[in-house]
Structure 1
Amino acid sequence: MVAALALLVVGGMALVNAIISEPDKTGPSTAASPSAGKTTPSSNGTTTSPRAALPLVIRVTGQPTTVVVRVADTGGKVLTNGTLNTGDTLQYEDAPLQVVATNGGSLQVVIYGKVQPREPNGQRAQWFVRARG
């Protein structure tokens, strides 16, 4: 009985640690790195942080929405396919990329440091990020 209780306590602690800890930083550099926390864009609509040089930054500023990001080549490897929550941010270091969102109005999309025009709320939207030459 004591051993079973000890296993439950250790297992519970491991589960809590797994849930609250940050994910391992493994995988290719093109993988999304979601980060919770809200950021504030500058008043002129462009970013001035080091992120400005990144090919793609996606921020969920509205309701949760489904987002698919894939490499825009013949293989079309899917990098992200799932629901992103309000406050989530994804960054991608490589291009070309194709982005599709179920609700484009929920996202702020920044391509090579330039904030893209806001899409209509509730409508499917897509973006293409060209490779820099």
Structure 2
Amino acid sequence: MAALALLVVGGMALINAVTGEPEQKGPSTAASPSGDGDGGGKASPSSTEKTTPAARVPLVISVTGQPTTVVVRVADAGGKVLTNGQLNTGDTLKYDQAPLQVVATNGGSLRVVIYGEVQPAKPAGQRGEWLVRAKG
């Protein structure tokens, strides 16, 4: 999984260098969670990030520090796991559903945005937990 992410990021950088397009600001990887239930986590890059107001998106996770293990699951009776694995520095995942429960081995490595609001940073090296409530 990590090798695939590196391949995608490297390929994007190579294409940008060859085509002369300006470098994008912010994280270089944006992906939506996988909906196939394998718990793998990342899918193809999302094109809706530019058109969807940040306040409408329930959850955006960006890895700004060291790679860390992240588990995202639907916070209901079924508890379907959407992501379960290590995310690398620069990875960004966007979730268009709620309620969600997020747990990270190293909460200090993540920038978590819930409905457009950046959450307070967790201490580096400590477990981090977040709950995204359904908007009613």
Shorter-chain TM-score: what band? Answer: 0.5 to 0.7
Q: Secondary structure at the match of 1:58?
A: strand
Aligned to 1:69: 72
The residue number in structure 2 matching 1:96 is 99
Q: 2:56 — aligned with what?
A: 53
Alpha-carbon spacing, 1:34–1:124, altered in 2? closer, same or farther (3 Å): farther
TM-score (norm. length: structure 2):
0.64
- Alignment match of 2:130 (pick from 111, 116, 127): 127
Output the aligned Cα RMSD. Answer: 2.9
Q: d(CA) in 1 for partners of 2:42 and 2:33? A: 11
> Letter of the aligned partner of 2:72 in structure 1?
V
Are 1:60 and 1:107, in contact at CA under 8 Å, matched by a contact in 2? Answer: yes
Kindly tell me the number of residue pairs found equivalent between the two proteins. 100
The verdict on how the C-alpha distance between 1:101 and 1:27 changes in structure 2, with shifts beyond 3 A counting, is: closer
Do the aligned partners of 2:33 and 2:82 also contact (CA within 8 Å) in 1? no
Shift of 1:27: 5.8
Q: Which 4+ residue blocks in structure 1 deviate beyond 3 angstroms?
A: 19-22, 25-29, 31-35
Bigger proportion of residues as strand: 2
- 1:131–1:86 distance in 2 versus 1, CA, 3 Å: same
- Secondary structure of the residue aligned to 1:105 is helix
- Provide the rounded CA distance (Å) in 1 between the counterparts of 2:98 and 2:33: 19
TM-aligned CA deviation for residue 83 of structure 1:
0.2
Give identity over the alignment, percent: 67
